[in-house]
Amino acid sequence: MRIGIVGAPNKGKSTLFSALTSIDVGIADYAFTTIEPNMGMAYARHECADRSLGVKCNPRNSGCDGGTRMIPVNIIDVAGLVPGAHMGRGRGNQFLNDLIGADVLVQVVDASGRTDEYGSACTGCDPAKEVGMVRAEMVEWLAGIIARHRQALSKRDDGEAALHELLSGMNVDLGQIQRAAEASFVSLSRASWDEESTRRFSDALLRENKPVIIAANKCDVDGGVAPEKISAELGGAPVVGCAAAIELALVKAAAAGMIDYVPGSGGFAIKGDPGPEQKSALKYMQSYLERNASTGVQKLLDTAVFGLLENIVVYPVEDETHYTDHSGNVLPDAILMKNGSTAHDLASRIHSEIAKGMKYAVDARSKMRLQKDYRLRDLDVIKIVGTR
């Protein structure tokens, strides 16, 4: 899974990236600090199956902390997007090309209202305006790709397949193309669309293929716009308030052994004897956590993975009696699967050859045999049985 961090310049995207991944990148109070995309790993947090099974897990692809599984997801942070990017302004289309393989986008906006859509300083700017600008640029970018292939598309009766081939880099599936065509009232056969139809289709397809959650960043700055107000202005769009700078400071303090802190928690314990300035900073951050329950950064990630994308967590095993793999690791892998996926989908995720030879699955909890079309449930522990 890949999560793309997007937004206008100077909104705190790189700070959020560093807070999520613990990777140091260029962070500064000016536009286009990020030029080339930053890539790293973050960890979505979810209940582990070990407690309900009464066993102690031995994770292989993820960590586990007190019954909470930490599941790795890929994060990419790209350069800031400015109005006119699809025509070459800023980093232009390179910004959009960097995001082509993302499954979900986290758009960072400045909830303090102190930077505009260009990243320039201002007073009382509307964060919701940034959201519309980024959406419009992405629509123009995709519409431009389709328009450049209009002649070829107009000759294909199987326009659905033609678009699937054209947009293969976006991980678009046929169902998304069909639903986007229905929503935009266009025909997929011999698709010779005008500019407006192309834009409508592009907008509908992006909503299907690149869902967006808004990170209302800099919520620790006084006098800003409440996340609830931003959401209401955007028609109920998912918005999570966060303070990426505080989260990053806490993560660094924990790495330095100064505090005990678990990302997403509402507090921390001080270790050792920090100096006066450090004590003052820690007191401020503790006060913020007490008022807001968390910095919002981990909540943002978990909401994107489990809320917006509707993923569940499934544990494939080879020994259904002991819940282990062939090496004896208990609940070794936690796999993110789209809600509604089947046991055969899980087999395909593990390996295409396993899927080809699959006969049936076994529910390791009940030891019952399951058909290939069994719909997986959250925290299922599954053995795949096959000829290979």
pLDDT, tens only, 121-147: 998 899 998 898 888 988 998 999 999
pLDDT score of 28: 41
What contacts 320, CB < 8 A, 6 or more positions away?
Answer: 362, 363, 364, 367, 381, 383
pLDDT score of 31: 42
Structure tokens at 168: 């293969």
Which range among 84-88, 303-307, 381-385 shows the weakest confidence by mean pLDDT? Answer: 84-88
Structure tokens at 117: 């859509």
Q: Tell me the domain boundaries of the chain.
A: 2-37+78-233, 311-386
Classify the C-alpha dihedral 344-348-351-353 as positive or negative: positive
pLDDT score of 85: 63
Region class of 293: left (phi > 0), else alpha (psi between -120 and 50), else beta: left
pLDDT score of 88: 59
Asked if 283 and 249 touch (Cβ cutoff 8 Å), the reply is no
- One CATH from 3.10.20.30, 3.20.20.140, 3.40.50.620, 1.10.150.130 for 311-386: 3.10.20.30
Task: Give 86's pLDDT tier (boundaries 50, 70, 90).
Answer: low
What contacts 278, CB < 8 A, 6 or more positions away?
Answer: 258
Asked if 210 and 107 touch (Cβ cutoff 8 Å), the reply is no
pLDDT, tens only, 147-184: 999 999 999 999 899 999 999 888 899 999 999 999 99
pLDDT at position 27 over 70: no
- Phi, psi (degrees; rounded to nearest 5) at 211: -60, 150
Mean pLDDT to the nearest integer, 182-190: 93
